[in-house]
Amino acid sequence: MSIQPLGDRVLVKVSESESKTKGGLYIPDNAKEKTTQGTVIAIGSHEDIKVKAGDKVLYDKYAGSGITIDDAEHILLRNEDILATIS
């Protein structure tokens, strides 16, 4: 399936949350915090979008709409919900 965001929307593939702490303890699925970073997959046609496909980004914790594409978790965000890029 292919999705092309419209306007100022950005499609981000959500990064997997850590399953183990730095100390080596395993975190059960029901105790994992929702991740707030991912990789940009596609962007809308709005000229003010500052990210491009392939960029790693941090986004607002409660932003966007979650969707599943090809068994992978994605989120559709507004450009303004992206807080920073990760280099």
Element (H, E) at 12: strand 9-14
Residue 57 lies in a domain: yes
Residue 25 lies in a domain: yes
Domain that holds residue 28: 9-86
Residue 80 lies in a domain: yes
Share of the chain above pLDDT 70, in %: 84
The CA–CA distances, whole Å, from 53 to 4, 23, 76, 87 equal 12, 34, 13, 14
Q: What CATH number did the domain enclosing 38 receive?
A: 2.30.33.40
In tens, the pLDDT along 5-24 reads: 999 999 999 987 666 667 77
User: Is the pTM for the entire model greater than 0.75?
Assistant: yes
Residue 56 lies in a domain: yes
Q: Domain total for the chain?
A: 1
